[in-house]
Structure 1
Amino acid sequence: MDTHPVIIGGKHHYNSTTFPVLNPYTRETIAMVCAAGPREVEKAVRTAEQGAIIMAALPAWKRSEMLFRLAELVEEEADELTDIIIREGGKVRRSAAMEVVRAAKTIRLSAEEAVRIHDQVVPMDGSPQGEGRIAMIMRVPLGVVLAITPFNLPLNQVCHKAGPALAAGNSCIIKPSSATPLTGLKFGELMLRAGFPGETVNVIPCRPDIAESMATDRRIACLSFTGSSPVGWHLRAKTPARRVILELGGNAAVIVHDDADLTLAASRIIEGAYSHAGQVCISVQRVFVQRAVSDRLTGELVSRCNALTLGDPEDPATDIGPMINPKETEKAIRRVKETVKSGAEVLCGGRISGNILVPTILAGTDPGMEVNCEEVFAPILTITPYDSFEEAVQMVNDSRFGLQAGVFTKDLALAIHASRFIQCGAVLVNDIPTFRIDSMPYGGVKESGIGREGPYFAIREMTEEKLVIIRP
């Protein structure tokens, strides 16, 4: 069985501490990966500091050229990357293939933005003291960006962090999820082939405490973290990084009003609730439906849910594969059972088949139940009727999270009301909160995070404004 080394300064580093990578569907060990310790982390940070100096000195066209080449390599290696994502992450084949397509797009967007980082002229003659002077704001790179990425998007989330960081002239240390490190290591190899200086290529699989030691290192200029809310806010409280970008959890909600296209709403909700077995931070978790159409929508959702194909994620026909590990599956089914004990009703699913949690729909829940107030990160959906649209908006907002929300209605006034008063980073009208394109500003409010992703917006987060005043 192959043992994969960490990558520090573009070079492979083996050590005696390793951990297994498991296939979520078969539970078989598919590889061993070296785990970085304090010595490797120290070397990676020192090397990344050198890499930051090198990247900052490169002209924008050169950074853009390397990123375009990297996007080409991602496309050339699409089949292998897809297979890796399936084997270590359990993502079904069509979703894994789509992630690779998106990743190449994200890198290409970063390449385009590398040559669009504009300076800004500042007028100085508004004051007598400024007369004759010329001033501008320059955007300069921060230095070393630490990218901590999750298992559910092991390639595209790396691209959303490393792509903008490199485009802006920073160096980047990539800490992939311990569940899916092979994708991150493969990405590091592609960076080297694309021509990035070795000092900028650092991929460090490691334990959480070692990752925290990196995040709290004063040499880290920017921490970009995607993962659970408790871990993200803990790191923010401890890190001295000048910039922190947190893309955290949610319990995304959808409102379906009585004038909506119910067939469209049901189709999109099923896709949003059960893609990657619900292991997406913007998965549809809560549905609020106007009481007059509640039975019709519920019936269609149950019918579509029961029609999903469960099985091996390698099979192109599979809709729903396994969750990332048995521990998370048991945690999810325990929440379902506790909800039922408290009076809720299972309309479909609510059980484990083999090693897959059957897609589940629950009715009769209340806001205080974990399946509503926590992020379940599993193929579980709750349905709650409402009477007035204002009541529905209040129920959506009855959450400490605020990432994205969806509203299905043909009434423009209601859509505007929802857009103004729903407390989240984005409101999608006649679509699900699970929708995302890689160029858009993406991020949340409340406990769902701070900062925005999307190459243009991430570059702004990963650069500093420097004022330059010239006295001729």
Structure 2
Amino acid sequence: MFVDGVLKAAGDLRPVHDRWTGAVLGSVALDSAADVDHAVRSVAGRRRTLPAEQRSRILGRCAELLRERSDEFAARSTAESGVCRRETTREVARACANLEVAAAEAVRLRGETIPVPGAARLAVTVPEPVGVVAAITPFNRPLNQVVVKLAPAIAAGCAVVLKPSERTPLTALAFAELLLAAGLPAELLAVVTGDPRTVGPALAGHPLVDMVTFTGSVPAGRAVAAAAAGRKLLLELGGNDPLIVLDDADLDRAATLAADGAFATSGQSCRGIKRVIVTEAVADEFVPRLVAAAAAKRCGDPHDPATDLGPLIDEAAAAGVLDRVHAAVAAGADLLLGGTRKEALVPPTVLDRVPADAVLVREETFGPVAPVIRVRDADEAVAVANSTAYGLQAGVLTGDSDLFWRIAARLRVGAVNLGEGPQYDSPHIPFGGVKASGYGREGMRYAIHEMSVTKTMTVPYGG
């Protein structure tokens, strides 16, 4: 485990393999509940925070160091996750942008003064760090998922214990070392690794943890929330995000957005397109365009810069995706492209006329599938979009701005993007969902506030 700025010797180790070649990339500790307790206590004693200007400098310097080592971090992330190199290169750039925005926001934290009506007193509020943050991250973006939790925690002045995915821990450990190289005091950060069934509950339920921020599946998130009962929570639990293509949409752009959103990260993205909802009036023109855009995607060796899709995280995940595809076909869907796998590699898969209640589209399917659901009109599109348990993000393609605002008001999601897919993101805007998609908001400024608490002081004033 990574405590006090160094890796501690461990009795039990877990190897980490290259997702494409199978080569052993390294080994990490299988930490016990006692190890987690030690890690939390190592950071919990540091209650006085660094000055905001110092926190800002650390985050800014970390962005500089990460940019200098972009190729190294992209290659490591590709190796342990299987995400293709062109995407992990973009992931490093996104991580740098998140760090820079967090650095800027660290010095913008402000309280307020409030003259108390009817009393000769003045209230003064100040933001303070929530305390010890437990950050639990998934496998699909080994660098940026870590950055979007650690950067706002540091900007808010919190100490952090990070638990990266047991499948992709090496990038997280390397980033922890980078933070220390940028000037973060070692006693403000620890990293624990190992079996999530052991480490997760021990971390989320630790009595010295003040807040838990988690990204992962709904079942895992509910287990974390139960373990963290009584603590502040920030949960990002996935999505079943729709792209809604209406009668007047630019169909070439729609096909490009649909293919990019459905197949990025081999479909293993919470904000990726999981459903393509298209009105009947344009579906016959749109679907061939989508098939062509999907067929142009190259899948294979994720280390090859020309590759668009690498393997899924493991063979079990790939098999599960194909099971849902075949079930949708059995229910009446037309399989137009793909629908096969070789070990963990699933090529781009396109289906048309998918029933809206098929498991493929009712649940979050974490794989490179673009299922087309045909609807009569905008009203039915909204009804279908809202018909699942999830509510993360949505994209709407129309030239009718009045119609867009009416649709946006009715969609039960955390964000609606006009002229973009649900995959649109920026470090400057809030990110998070409703319903089963989670609780709270990420995005640098918003996550910093989530990781802060307000202290109020009142003093005599006037009178």
Q: What is the TM-score with the length of structure 2 in the denominator? A: 0.97
Contact kept? 1:191, 1:201, Cα under 8 Å: no
SS state at 1:188 partner: helix
SS state at 1:177 partner: coil
How far apart, in 2, do the equivalents of 1:101 and 1:418 lie? 33
Contact kept? 2:153, 2:448, Cα under 8 Å: yes
How far apart, in 2, do the equivalents of 1:354 and 1:36 lie? 30
How far apart, in 1, do the equivalents of 2:56 and 2:347 lie? 45
Q: Unaligned stretches of 5+ in structure 2?
A: none
Offset at residue 417 of structure 1 (A): 1.0
Offset at residue 468 of structure 1 (A): 0.5
Counterpart position of 1:367: 356
Q: Unaligned stretches of 5+ in structure 1?
A: 1-5
SS state at 2:98 partner: helix
Counterpart position of 2:407: 418
1:173 to 2:161 alignment: yes
SS state at 1:83 partner: helix
Counterpart position of 1:431: 420
How far apart, in 1, do the equivalents of 2:344 and 2:267 lie? 15
1:87 to 2:67 alignment: no
Counterpart position of 2:194: 206
Match for residue 431 of structure 2 among 427, 439, 442? 442
1:37 to 2:26 alignment: no
Does 237-246 or 35-44 show the bigger shift? 237-246
Contact kept? 1:10, 1:200, Cα under 8 Å: no
1:243 to 2:239 alignment: no
How far apart, in 2, do the equivalents of 1:412 and 1:190 lie? 45
Trace 1:52-131 onto structure 2 (pairs within 5 A). 53-54=47-48, 56=49, 58-124=50-116, 126-127=117-118, 130-131=119-120
Contact kept? 2:19, 2:311, Cα under 8 Å: yes
SS state at 2:432 partner: coil
Counterpart position of 1:3: none
Offset at residue 176 of structure 1 (A): 0.5
How far apart, in 1, do the equivalents of 2:389 and 2:173 lie? 35
Counterpart position of 2:386: 397
Question: Matched residue pairs, number?
Answer: 460
Q: Which runs of 4+ in 1 moved over 4 A?
A: none
Counterpart position of 1:12: 7
How far apart, in 1, do the equivalents of 2:312 and 2:392 lie? 22
Offset at residue 149 of structure 1 (A): 0.6
1:26 to 2:21 alignment: yes
1:163 to 2:151 alignment: yes
Q: What is the TM-score with the length of structure 1 in the denominator? A: 0.95
1:463 to 2:452 alignment: yes
Which amino acid is the alignment partner of residue 402 of structure 2?
Answer: A
Contact kept? 1:223, 1:241, Cα under 8 Å: no
Contact kept? 1:418, 1:427, Cα under 8 Å: no
Q: Deviations over 1:276-319 (max 9, x none)?
A: 10000011111111111101100100111112111111111111
How far apart, in 2, do the equivalents of 1:305 and 1:354 lie? 20
Q: Deviations over 1:127-169 (max 9, x none)?
A: 1xx21x2211111111100110111111111111111111111
Counterpart position of 1:311: 300
Offset at residue 241 of structure 1 (A): 4.8
Offset at residue 235 of structure 1 (A): 1.5
SS state at 1:352 partner: coil
Offset at residue 354 of structure 1 (A): 5.6
